[in-house]
Chain A
């Protein structure tokens, strides 16, 4: 063994694997003692091969692990004997071992349980993550978020009913700060993306202009340095302070504490970094803020040096937050704020002061304004829950089938005094293990599905965190355990009812009694699955039809290949004249460029920003207003605009090069405007005065088809009008560049930006967008609904089909002899097969009808989310029904073939 007593390696210390085993298995208080015992034992055994084998046996024994659960201080009787109470820790351990063994022994069963559950949980948890971020979680870093409110102005309109605006005017801030006693503090902010730096290195940065009260209202404390104070909130101060987010500080400034005092060139302002916000706090909106500046110091950069910003309500540009006084409700604050709102008499947008103010929760999606993305996400989470229910039903089905297969084992255990409770515990353990595995796999699914869901629902949003966080993981694992426990519980109760005597008696005959109830239960579960599939598929059809309608909506111009570009020239000190010269030059530069088929200048940024001017028609006291928007939307464009955008001229002529300053003032209107102002009459040749009364009246020279530059795609087109650019200089705006390119506009965009930035030295970062990306968010809810509900529905139908198949196959296997005998007595194969298929069809048919009923109840809430689509139209209902019937047919074919193909001779021999 070990001649001469030469000390072997094992005598000095235990080998690594043994130490690891002890570390993992043995309880801490005995680990060293046992290690010593084993080392001495190895020595006594001579340290050779046998000693190692002995050591291996000692280290990998389950009793070591059992020892860990026998902690000191446990009540003695908990472990006093082998027939202890059910929750004995050693018993749990043995249940655990048994469960692992059972799972390993039937991997196919484990897979059929784990995979659909993981998929359903993963999809569900991903959607939960979105709903959580959109609707449930207050912005990180905000103290006592329940008391933080977001102010909005409510107006009652004849056509659209109640509308809520969240962009407010500075005078609203002043009114609230002065008069609303129920608000402890009021803060306003405005977020935009100016250029950071100049020249080729310049990039856009997300900047929030805020009142100094912003940080204190939200209860945020600086991570480094300080926030800005009221005395710094002035225009044209010598040192403009700025605050960086932690992400910006780490990323752009290298996370250096010495970065305080650094000067940053933001827009036209050189600001000095005075503080860094705490990690995670990036403002209160979904778009994370990188830098904060005092609102008075920075507003000129975006809004222009316009004193009307601060004294009138012409520009609704800020968002206002309030912190409620302790004990004040949002309703009381709303009433108080409405009084404050009405205390400002001179309101351009609401002359008769009919509007009121509302204090909404800080999460935009929870507010009364609502958010269609959040609504869709909620419905999807509901859909995912439906799918999970269906998967539960499927699991229950699988477990019932399995417990039927193990009836004899079960009966034997009960007969031997195993105890139904013990049986229940061991089943529960197995289910929990499977659920845990599914939950873990679901987390992988989240990592995969989450980003897709995010991109579809919130395109272009820079997420601060991954799709998987503690809350999402908690939901996934928690749901997994819940489902596992529920299913196992139900199944075990079912199995526990087994009549032992009957089972054991029938055990040898091949005909097992007591299975009719089980089969009925399983068919019921399949019917339930069919009903859920029906609901999901109907919802999916609704969204697919909506998306098709939305995508086919005539937006009035050809969006493919369109780019829009602008540069924040005001921020580098360009006055209006210089800006116009720049854009004129850019327009000409691109007009002759290869790959660009159209170049023009215009004002309105589709779905992004628009402008209203006062309109009047000589001889009329008042003009009808555009629902939701007040006056028709202003635009000013060059002659090439019509062809660049692909607008369609209906009547008259379009703006030409000859319509310039000094020639007769003209304008083109869209059909919506013509109909609004002159219903049933010709608008051509009439005149509208745009702006002040001193300005001349403009003749309408043309009418174009409605385009949708503003508003939601499902709404009526908004009335709009176009002035020749050269005749609109009095309105003091900066145009932007519109380009139509050949080939991929996404590939062209950076190139266009480079050319723009090189036209003159020291330019700020150009902002080039593919116009389609500004339309996409409007279609996103339907696209998301269509994609996700289709996926959920298809998955549901497949799982239901598989469930039906397994029930029918089991049924055929069980009644095999009966079929064989009937075949022997001369039944035709079709006579044997028909009831098998028929049973499946009947069950699914019943489920479909129940599904129709559920859908008809849900339709009330779902239909408002759809684009003018009726959910309960016959085409959808019948289509879904037929699809599921085909599924049922497909599931029944193979079992029916097996039933009809039983060989009577073989069956009789088996008897």
Chain B
């Protein structure tokens, strides 16, 4: 069972949310828009590379488009192992959260 860092999980979730539109630029925007995480494109790609290295994600080169100055896009998708790892982490997470709602409700105080 792979351990996943926080940012790794967020990036994996962004990939799932974006579906066929999941490229580096959109993942970056999704992290900022949904999770409020301001990271740089470099960070996103470092994370994506690590996920690929672990076999949790895969990527392929798409077509070039004029809106990108004629540059190709690289699309990302979770591998079956990646989906499994994400689901497993969610399960762990929820199990740990169950019964401690008070902390979340009460905030820091």
* Chain A residues close to B by CB (< 8 Å): 11-14, 25-26, 30, 32-41, 43-44, 57-58, 61-67, 70, 74, 76, 79-82, 90
Main secondary structure of the interface of A (DSSP, over half): helix
State how many angstroms separate the Cβ of B85 from the closest Cβ of chain A: 13
B69 is contacted by which of A25, A36, A64 (Cβ under 8 Å)? A36
State how many angstroms separate the Cβ of B18 from the closest Cβ of chain A: 13
- Would A66 and B46 be within 8 Å (CB), given that A37-B28, A80-B54 are in contact? yes
Q: Which residues of B lie under 8 Å from residue A76 when comparing CB positions?
A: 53-54
B81 within 8 A of A: no
State how many angstroms separate the Cβ of B33 from the closest Cβ of chain A: 10
Contact (Cβ within 8 A) A63 B53: no
Task: Please give me the residue from chain B that is nearest to A61 by CB atom.
Answer: B40
Q: Which residues of B lie under 8 Å from residue A14 when comparing CB positions?
A: 69
Contact (Cβ within 8 A) B53 A58: no
Q: Which residues of A lie under 8 Å from residue B24 when comparing CB positions?
A: 33-34, 37
Q: Which residues of A lie under 8 Å from residue B61 when comparing CB positions?
A: 33
For the complex with contacts A35-B69, A61-B40, A67-B45, 10 further pairs of A-B residues with Cβ separation under 8 Å are A34-B45, A36-B69, A39-B67, A39-B68, A40-B67, A41-B29, A58-B41, A64-B45, A65-B42, A90-B46
- Would A80 and B42 be within 8 Å (CB), given that A33-B74, A37-B28 are in contact? no
- Alpha-carbon gap, A62 to B67, bound state (A): 27
User: Which 9 pairs across A and B sit closest by C-beta, in order of nearness?
Assistant: A36-B71, A63-B42, A37-B25, A36-B68, A64-B42, A61-B40, A33-B74, A61-B42, A37-B24
State how many angstroms separate the Cβ of B72 from the closest Cβ of chain A: 6
A61 is contacted by which of B29, B41, B72 (Cβ under 8 Å)? B41
- Would A63 and B46 be within 8 Å (CB), given that A36-B68, A40-B25, A58-B41 are in contact? yes
Q: Which residues of A lie under 8 Å from residue B41 when comparing CB positions?
A: 34, 37-38, 41, 58, 61, 64
- Would A67 and B73 be within 8 Å (CB), given that A34-B24, A44-B29, A80-B54 are in contact? no
Task: Please give me the residue from chain B that is nearest to A79 by CB atom.
Answer: B50
State how many angstroms separate the Cβ of A57 from the closest Cβ of chain B: 6
- Alpha-carbon gap, A12 to B68, bound state (A): 8
Q: Which residues of B lie under 8 Å from residue A43 when comparing CB positions?
A: 67
Contact (Cβ within 8 A) A74 B53: yes
Q: Which residues of B lie under 8 Å from residue A74 when comparing CB positions?
A: 53
- Alpha-carbon gap, A67 to B53, bound state (A): 13
A36 is contacted by which of B40, B43, B50, B64 (Cβ under 8 Å)? B64
State how many angstroms separate the Cβ of B3 from the closest Cβ of chain A: 7
Q: Which residues of B lie under 8 Å from residue A79 when comparing CB positions?
A: 50, 53
Task: Please give me the residue from chain A that is nearest to B69 by CB atom.
Answer: A39
Contact (Cβ within 8 A) B46 A70: yes
Contact (Cβ within 8 A) A70 B74: no
State how many angstroms separate the Cβ of A32 from the closest Cβ of chain B: 5
Contact (Cβ within 8 A) A58 B40: yes
Q: Which residues of B lie under 8 Å from residue A57 when comparing CB positions?
A: 40
Contact (Cβ within 8 A) A32 B72: yes
Q: Which residues of A lie under 8 Å from residue B72 when comparing CB positions?
A: 32-33, 36
Q: Which residues of A lie under 8 Å from residue B40 when comparing CB positions?
A: 57-58, 61, 63-64
Contact (Cβ within 8 A) B42 A62: yes
State how many angstroms separate the Cβ of A13 from the closest Cβ of chain B: 5
Q: Which residues of A lie under 8 Å from residue B67 when comparing CB positions?
A: 11, 39-40, 43
Q: Which residues of A lie under 8 Å from residue B74 when comparing CB positions?
A: 30, 33
- Alpha-carbon gap, A267 to B24, bound state (A): 77
Contact (Cβ within 8 A) A32 B29: no
State how many angstroms separate the Cβ of B67 from the closest Cβ of chain A: 6
Q: Which residues of A lie under 8 Å from residue B49 when comparing CB positions?
A: 67, 70
- Alpha-carbon gap, A26 to B43, bound state (A): 12
Scan B18-55; emit 1 where CB is below 8 A from any A CB, else 0.
Answer: 00000111001100000000001111011001100110
- Would A63 and B25 be within 8 Å (CB), given that A14-B69, A33-B71, A81-B5 are in contact? no
Contact (Cβ within 8 A) B71 A61: no
- Alpha-carbon gap, A39 to B64, bound state (A): 12
Q: Which residues of A lie under 8 Å from residue B73 when comparing CB positions?
A: 33, 36-37
State how many angstroms separate the Cβ of B68 from the closest Cβ of chain A: 4
- Alpha-carbon gap, A805 to B54, bound state (A): 57
Q: Which residues of B lie under 8 Å from residue A64 when comparing CB positions?
A: 40-42, 45
A81 is contacted by which of B3, B23, B28, B42 (Cβ under 8 Å)? B3
Contact (Cβ within 8 A) B25 A61: no
State how many angstroms separate the Cβ of A413 from the closest Cβ of chain B: 23
Contact (Cβ within 8 A) A39 B50: no
Q: List 12 A-B contacts (CB under 8 A).
A: A13-B69, A30-B74, A34-B41, A37-B68, A38-B41, A41-B25, A43-B67, A63-B43, A64-B41, A66-B46, A76-B54, A79-B50
Q: Which residues of B lie under 8 Å from residue A33 when comparing CB positions?
A: 23-24, 61, 71-74
Task: Please give me the residue from chain A that is nearest to B24 by CB atom.
Answer: A37
State how many angstroms separate the Cβ of A271 from the closest Cβ of chain B: 64
Q: Which residues of A lie under 8 Å from residue B25 when comparing CB positions?
A: 36-38, 40-41, 44
Q: Which residues of B lie under 8 Å from residue A11 when comparing CB positions?
A: 67, 69
A30 is contacted by which of B28, B45, B53 (Cβ under 8 Å)? B45
Task: Please give me the residue from chain B that is nearest to A7 by CB atom.
Answer: B67
Task: Please give me the residue from chain B that is nearest to A65 by CB atom.
Answer: B42
State how many angstroms separate the Cβ of A79 from the closest Cβ of chain B: 6
- Alpha-carbon gap, A454 to B100, bound state (A): 82
Task: Please give me the residue from chain A that is nearest to B75 by CB atom.
Answer: A33
- Would A67 and B71 be within 8 Å (CB), given that A34-B24, A36-B64 are in contact? no
Task: Please give me the residue from chain A that is nearest to B3 by CB atom.
Answer: A81
Q: Which residues of B lie under 8 Å from residue A41 when comparing CB positions?
A: 25, 28-29, 41
Q: Which residues of A lie under 8 Å from residue B42 when comparing CB positions?
A: 25-26, 58, 61-67
State how many angstroms separate the Cβ of A421 from the closest Cβ of chain B: 23
- Alpha-carbon gap, A76 to B45, bound state (A): 15
Contact (Cβ within 8 A) A39 B46: no
Q: Which residues of B lie under 8 Å from residue A90 when comparing CB positions?
A: 46
State how many angstroms separate the Cβ of A478 from the closest Cβ of chain B: 34
State how many angstroms separate the Cβ of B31 from the closest Cβ of chain A: 12
- Alpha-carbon gap, A30 to B61, bound state (A): 10
State how many angstroms separate the Cβ of A47 from the closest Cβ of chain B: 12
